[in-house]
């Protein structure tokens, strides 16, 4: 056969298209280096790229998390052709778990013919249906109450154990004409409009308590305070944190006065203002520096800035910078804002080089404990990194802020659910989504039915596939044990048992107790 005839076989003319009919008629023989193989397509097979998701679905059902969330959703449709609430919310959850960042990515979920049915969905909702779902069919206040209640539902029993409240804000850069897109502090894209996510974390357990979306020019702590105090006021006093922790933006009179009035301890970092720099300079000649851990030294003092109503306790921390010394510099040169070095005129010999931090706190703990408490705050930054890069807090953007707020809270809820599931599977550490999803979620699976029994055959391509199989098998056995032994218990007792297993490392193996609520007489 010459080249022209060969091309005519690959690209046949006419409506008959014999090449295509041959593909549909049976397997296609291919000549490979391993010999001849036969390839065929099966468009009707029930397969999924998220073959291990049913284990997570079982966790949601045993913990009674997903179904009440769907039932309480304030979405209301009048059209008989409208999608169901389970389809909308299930599609959103599958999209988050798949690592999507935009509504347009939702279309790829339609290739999954297994998990939507297992989740109780009738179909995968289209991207337009999901995008428009909360635009007119749900009230903003009702949606906020719905999501806040279910966020609290998954972590409330843990609040009666000692915990620390971390507060912080992160920037979501915008590129269109969205409501609330204002130019403010944006370290990654200066001058670019943005939204601000004001977020409250429960330290150590790495769960999101709540998140509030505000315009990009409202990054200061004063914009977080109304939502923060409203969140705390919804909690019984016994569930309040041991103290409030934040960065230098929180070390101001308004925050500290309000915390003192409410009897809530705090730990903040101070900006290096003129008086703070003066306090650091006065500490140069002190000889009572004590060990503050991890190479830091600390001394205690008191400070009252011009905007403060009273003196407060401060901890000055310093750490020697290795590999450099400070000589002399020109007189009158102001101290750099980074506070990395201090120079001495007419120094007779090289001087050690230090970096300094100043913490303000109402805690009575020793310097080492206070310093370690603030170092632990770095974990909140890891949360933001995970949420923005692995859970799409920088995506799912719409023109109105109401839907951006709803999506932020739904994202936070799914993040909490997945974090608890992974903690149950891998209790010794917090595994971020970049490692936990490939290990415990992604796998090729094919569903078959025979004799009334549905079987899911899973093939994991992960390098630690055997470890994943062992972990998920053990998890399924635990959930089965919970269901069989707690049939007479209510949801609260069952969920308390599951949380006790998840945070056994934090509780030293004991069960979470039933809180004894004492009326607040203040």
Mean local confidence (pLDDT), 104-131: 92
Residue 3 has pLDDT above 60, yes or no: no
Asked if the structure places residue 419 within a domain, the reply is no
Mean local confidence (pLDDT), 494-508: 92
pLDDT tens digit sequence for 187-201 = 888 889 999 999 999
Mean local confidence (pLDDT), 156-175: 92
Asked if the structure places residue 136 within a domain, the reply is no
Q: Domain boundary residue among 331, 353, 374? A: 374
Residue 159 has pLDDT above 90, yes or no: yes
Print burial letters for 292-325: b (CB count within 10 Å at least 16), e (below 16): beeebbbbeeebebeeeeeebebbbbbbeeeeee
Asked if the structure places residue 437 within a domain, the reply is no
pLDDT tens digit sequence for 6-45 = 555 555 554 444 444 444 568 899 999 999 999 988 888 8
More confidently predicted of 371 and 82: 371
C-alpha–C-alpha distance, residues 199 and 206, integer Å? 12
Domains held by the chain: number = 2
Asked if the structure places residue 349 within a domain, the reply is yes
Q: Domain boundary residue among 374, 407, 438? A: 374
Asked if the structure places residue 351 within a domain, the reply is yes
pLDDT tens digit sequence for 225-275 = 999 999 999 999 999 999 999 998 898 999 999 999 999 999 999 999 999
Please state the pTM of the whole predicted model: 0.88
Residue 505 has pLDDT above 90, yes or no: no
Q: What's the per-residue H, E or C state across 265-300?
A: EEEEECCCCHHHHHHHHHCCCCCCCEEEECCEEEEE
Q: Which domain holds residue 342?
A: 270-374
Residue 327 has pLDDT above 50, yes or no: no
Percent of the chain at pLDDT > 90 equals 61
- Tell me the pLDDT band of 323, cut-offs 50, 70 and 90: low
Asked if the structure places residue 110 within a domain, the reply is no
Asked if the structure places residue 362 within a domain, the reply is yes
- Tell me the pLDDT band of 516, cut-offs 50, 70 and 90: low
Average pLDDT, the chain: 87
Asked if the structure places residue 424 within a domain, the reply is no
- State the pLDDT at residue 325: 45
C-alpha–C-alpha distance, residues 394 and 410, integer Å? 14
Q: Domain boundary residue among 350, 374, 398? A: 374
pLDDT tens digit sequence for 49-59 = 999 999 999 99
Contacts by 156-159, CB closer than 8 A, 24 or more apart: 156/239, 157/492, 157/495, 157/496, 157/499, 157/512, 157/515, 158/202, 158/205, 158/207, 158/499, 158/503, 158/512, 159/202, 159/235, 159/239, 159/240
pLDDT tens digit sequence for 437-459 = 999 999 999 998 888 899 999 99
């Amino acid at each position: 056969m010459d080249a022209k005839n060969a091309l005519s076989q690959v690209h046949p003319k006419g409506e008959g298209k014999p090449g295509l009919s041959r593909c549909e008629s049976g397997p296609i023989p291919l000549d490979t280096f391993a010999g001849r193989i036969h390839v065929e397509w099966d468009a009707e097979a029930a397969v999924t790229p998220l073959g291990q998701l049913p284990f997570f679905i079982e966790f949601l059902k045993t913990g009674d998390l997903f179904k009440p969330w769907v039932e309480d959703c304030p979405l209301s449709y009048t059209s008989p052709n409208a999608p169901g609430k389970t389809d909308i919310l299930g599609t959103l959850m599958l999209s988050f778990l798949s690592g999507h960042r935009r509504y347009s990515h939702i279309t790829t979920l339609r290739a999954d013919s297994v998990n939507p049915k297992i989740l109780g969905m009738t179909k995968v909702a289209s991207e337009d249906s999901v995008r428009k779902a909360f635009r007119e069919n749900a009230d903003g206040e009702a949606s906020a109450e719905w999501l806040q209640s279910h966020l609290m539902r998954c972590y409330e029993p843990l609040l009666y154990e000692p915990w620390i409240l971390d507060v912080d804000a992160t920037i979501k850069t915008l590129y269109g004409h969205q409501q609330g897109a204002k130019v403010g502090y944006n370290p990654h894209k200066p001058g670019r409009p943005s939204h601000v996510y004001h977020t409250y974390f429960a330290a150590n357990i790495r769960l999101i308590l709540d998140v509030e979306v505000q315009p990009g020019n409202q990054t200061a702590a004063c914009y977080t305070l109304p939502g923060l105090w409203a969140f705390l006021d919804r909690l019984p006093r016994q569930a309040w944190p041991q103290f409030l922790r934040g960065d230098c933006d929180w070390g101001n009179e308004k925050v500290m006065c309000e915390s003192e009035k409410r009897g809530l301890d705090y730990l903040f970092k101070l900006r290096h203002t003129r008086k703070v720099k003066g306090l650091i300079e006065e500490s140069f000649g002190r000889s009572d520096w004590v060990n503050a851990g991890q190479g830091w030294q600390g001394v205690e003092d008191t400070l009252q800035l011009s905007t403060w109503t009273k003196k407060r306790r401060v901890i000055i921390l310093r750490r020697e910078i290795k590999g450099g010394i400070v000589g002399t510099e020109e007189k009158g040169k102001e101290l750099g804002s980074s506070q990395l070095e201090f120079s001495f005129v007419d120094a007779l010999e090289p001087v050690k080089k230090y970096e300094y931090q100043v913490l303000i706190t109402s805690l009575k703990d020793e310097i080492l404990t206070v310093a370690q408490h603030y170092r632990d705050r770095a974990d909140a930054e890891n949360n933001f990194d995970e949420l923005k890069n692995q859970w799409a807090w920088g995506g799912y953007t719409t023109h109105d802020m109401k839907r951006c707020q709803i999506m932020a809270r739904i994202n936070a809820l799914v993040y909490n659910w997945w974090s608890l599931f992974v903690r149950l599977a891998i209790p010794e550490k917090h595994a971020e989504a970049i490692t936990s999803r490939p290990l415990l979620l992604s796998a090729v699976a094919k569903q078959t039915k025979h004799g009334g029994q549905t079987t899911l055959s899973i093939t994991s391509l992960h390098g630690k596939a055997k470890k994943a199989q062992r972990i998920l098998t053990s998890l399924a056995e635990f959930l089965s044990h919970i269901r069989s032994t707690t049939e007479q218990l209510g949801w609260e007792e069952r969920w308390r048992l599951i949380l006790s297993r998840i945070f056994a490392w934090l509780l030293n193996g004991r069960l979470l107790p039933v809180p004894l609520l004492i009326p607040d007489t203040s």
